Structure 1
Amino acid sequence: MSYAAVGALALGAGCSAPPGAGPTGAAGGAARVSGSAAEPGTAHTPTAAATGGANPPAARVRPHPPQPITVAFAGDIHFQNQLRPRLANPGTALASLRPELSAADLTVANLETAVTTRGRPEDKRYRFRAPPSAFAAVAAAGVDVVTMANNHAVDYGPAGLRDTLAAAARAPVAVVGIGPDADRAFAPYVTRIRGTTVAVIGADAVADPTTRHFAAGEHSPGIAVALRPDRLVAAVRAARRAADLVVVYLHWGQERVGCPTSGQRDLARRLASAGADVVVGSHAHVQLGAGMLDDTFVAYGLGNFVWYSRNSRRESTTGILTLTTVGRSVRKVRWTPGRVGGDGLPRFTSGDQALRLRREFADLTGCTGLGRIGTPPV
């Protein structure tokens, strides 16, 4: 896998989506929790041409070379406090973000809230919830997939969890990382974009009350918990057999710590070994560095994105990460930087300020152990 690099992050190397591009089975159709584009044995089953299966010599079809696609990632989104009134009109709630979020072929973000109007609040300091229109708002903004494997998806107990699952089943955006049982919580969202099959998996690797009390079980609902990562590793291996590009979006790390923990680094290596091509994450509320782990692109932390508070400059600095891939290879990387405003929405920067924020993001790679251009990981 080649990498046009953290150096491209600093320079703002572009990777815009070709006209008319868009994922099949994503926002715009009836989505379900996980696996919404295809069930096993259907749309994501490789064709004979793709697998080199037997064809009569005269009729043998050469597979087309993979075409470039763009996949974008944003950090934490919720609709708390001053953001809540925006959901009165979900179609325009995040309208200012749509030009950037919809530019990629596929856009993935972390929806960090229970989706319910009822339920009993959990015994914790911060509790987030939003009505089902939250799904419509992120879809209208250009997000195609959200992960809900995070520490706020079940802030309003079992009743809130039931409501969240019901709303996700009807949502106009694909939802991963949560489900009525573990199989479906760990199931990937699968879509095909210009001949490339993409699988997106969500999981939570943070030890907290949500992962302790609401891990999806064999016959019980909850989130995909990866504190013991064997099940996540198995999900990645299964996706590797069915997809061209395997993406894992994790909730991990330590809040307000800008370098990855040893646990993050170990998990990233396990996922890379299992066949993940892209590993991204959030949870720390600040950005962490990105780079190459052998052939796998890793972005340890994307920070807040649509967020009610701006506790510090670090916590209000945000952006969209866009990768241009060809098959399994990351060819270009773009960091579109911004700052979260008092209304909770990010404003994307330009000129000297954008260049400075790109350089700051690129500099975060220094403590990750990830490789820069042409250098191995440490």
Structure 2
Amino acid sequence: MDILKLVAVGDVYLKVQDHQDPFFNVHSIFKEKDILFGNLETPLVNKGQKSNKAVVLHSDPKNVEYLKNADFDVLNLANNHILDFGEEGFRSTIKVLRENNLKYLGSEYKKPGKVIFLEEKGIKFAFLGYTIGRLKTSKNVYVNKLKEQKILADINLIKDKCDFVIVSLHWGTENVFYPSPSQIKLAHKIIDNGADLILGHHPHVIQGIEEYNNGLIAYSLGNFQFDPKLSQSKFNKSLILSVEFDKNRLVGFDIDPVEINGDIPYLLSGQLKIDFINFISELTEPISKRTITTLWWFGEIGSEYLNSNMHSYMVRIKKYGFLHFLEFILWLCMPFCILCYIGIISRRIR
């Protein structure tokens, strides 16, 4: 029976130096794929109205050639940076991808984001994509929001029309190595309702990979072709996830560790590769053993979340003025921040 290999990577920015192919060092892995997935964490545009954010991303539309050369099959656009250059940037991105016959999911222009069907080796896949974030969209821009009922309803509509359902989720807390209890609960529910594989991204660092109820959950694929400094992260490791399917089931998975130097991913080998795979196992263990509680999680993520968001607010206040200072004061009093304070205190007591 034919085995199909789906290869997935995390955040792709497409900023390059000296016209260097950013994927040159991982082409040997990409060539083994039947389907290649990535999260395109940038609009493809050179002009437009910038968002009032601390970090605003964009990449030259000409850099789409690197996506074509790498032979990406599916790109997720449901993320918190796709509207960094407003509707003009979004429209440009859609236009560039369509002109280059690159399939995308999670966002669409002038109509709701659609499901992507792909068939390889007689096996039919359906891809869905959703994102967290307060995205300000116009009537012409549709971005699939991460809402449980919508996700489950969408899966129910398509699961009988394909062999496997793949769900892309842009979610989680940036620069933390563990999904929250609510993420784990939602991921399990998504698998229980008919999905076979969840591909997570947004935290900019990797998280555990859980085998659950004949499905697979990669809670965060991390950065990939993305300078960690952009996400205020000192963690420069990532992975390439390869998942194998036959006609009837998800057969297994493998990971190829990479190190990001600037914005270029390089494959790890030898002891560095072994150490990284062991690190993934360590991240997965508390998920599999169900030991991630709400209080423990806020203790783990509290300092990182507060520090990174304070930095973001300081940048925005300096750039955009007093209204962002007022928003910062309100943010400090939000329930999520209060739980972070409690978690930090609890961890120090432990």
Q: Compute the TM-score of the two structures, normalised by the length of structure 2.
A: 0.77
For the residue of structure 2 that corresponds to 1:271, the secondary structure is helix
Instruction: Report if aligned partners of 1:200, 1:247 keep a CA contact under 8 Å in 2.
Output: yes
Task: Compute the displacement of 1:112 (Å).
Answer: 0.0
Instruction: Report if aligned partners of 1:136, 1:172 keep a CA contact under 8 Å in 2.
Output: no
Map of 2:122 onto structure 1: 195
Q: How far apart are the structure 2 equivalents of 1:276 and 1:292?
A: 13
C-alpha distance after superposition, 1:94-134 (max 9, x if no partner): 33322212311111010100111111000110011112223
Q: How far apart are the structure 2 equivalents of 1:100 and 1:127?
A: 31
Map of 2:169 onto structure 1: 250
Q: Measured at CA, do residues 85 and 113 of structure 1 come closer, stay the same or move farther in structure 2, by a change above 3 Å?
A: farther
Give the residue type in structure 2 aligned to 1:294.
Answer: N
Task: Compute the displacement of 1:138 (Å).
Answer: 1.5
Q: How far apart are the structure 1 equivalents of 2:96 and 2:191?
A: 33
Any gaps of 5 or more consecutive residues in structure 1?
1-65, 372-378
Map of 1:341 onto structure 2: 261
Instruction: Report if aligned partners of 2:202, 2:220 keep a CA contact under 8 Å in 1.
Output: yes
For the residue of structure 2 that corresponds to 1:232, the secondary structure is helix
Equivalent residues in 2 for 1:256-271, closer than 5 Å = 256-271=175-190
Equivalent residues in 2 for 1:201-240, closer than 5 Å = 201-204=128-131, 206=132, 208-210=133-135, 213-214=136-137, 220-226=140-146, 228-240=147-159
Q: Measured at CA, do residues 301 and 328 of structure 1 come closer, stay the same or move farther in structure 2, by a change above 3 Å?
A: farther
Task: Compute the displacement of 1:156 (Å).
Answer: 0.6
For the residue of structure 2 that corresponds to 1:288, the secondary structure is coil
Map of 2:2 onto structure 1: 67
Map of 1:148 onto structure 2: 77
Q: How far apart are the structure 2 equivalents of 1:165 and 1:172?
A: 11
Task: Compute the displacement of 1:165 (Å).
Answer: 2.0
| 262-271 or 101-110, larger mean C-alpha shift | 262-271
Map of 1:107 onto structure 2: 36
Q: How far apart are the structure 2 equivalents of 1:363 and 1:182?
A: 42
Equivalent residues in 2 for 1:120-135, closer than 5 Å = 120-135=49-64
For the residue of structure 1 that corresponds to 2:208, the secondary structure is strand
C-alpha distance after superposition, 1:13-64 (max 9, x if no partner): xxxxxxxxxxxxxxxxxxxxxxxxxxxxxxxxxxxxxxxxxxxxxxxxxxxx
Map of 2:252 onto structure 1: 332
Task: Compute the displacement of 1:292 (Å).
Answer: 1.6
Task: Compute the displacement of 1:181 (Å).
Answer: 4.4
For the residue of structure 2 that corresponds to 1:235, the secondary structure is helix
Instruction: Report if aligned partners of 1:182, 1:224 keep a CA contact under 8 Å in 2.
Output: no
Task: Compute the displacement of 1:347 (Å).
Answer: 0.8
Q: How far apart are the structure 2 equivalents of 1:278 and 1:353?
A: 27
Give the residue type in structure 1 aligned to 2:76.
Answer: T
How many pairs are equivalent?
Answer: 288
Q: Compute the TM-score of the two structures, normalised by the length of structure 1.
A: 0.71
The structure, 1 or 2, with the larger RCO (C-alpha pairs under 8 Å, 6+ apart) is 1
C-alpha distance after superposition, 1:291-327 (max 9, x if no partner): 12212211101110011235555x2111100011123
| Greater percentage in helix | 2
Q: Tell me the C-alpha RMSD between the 2 structures.
A: 2.0
Map of 1:317 onto structure 2: 237
Q: How far apart are the structure 1 equivalents of 2:204 and 2:14?
A: 16
Q: How far apart are the structure 2 equivalents of 1:330 and 1:370?
A: 22
Give the residue type in structure 2 aligned to 1:321.
Answer: L
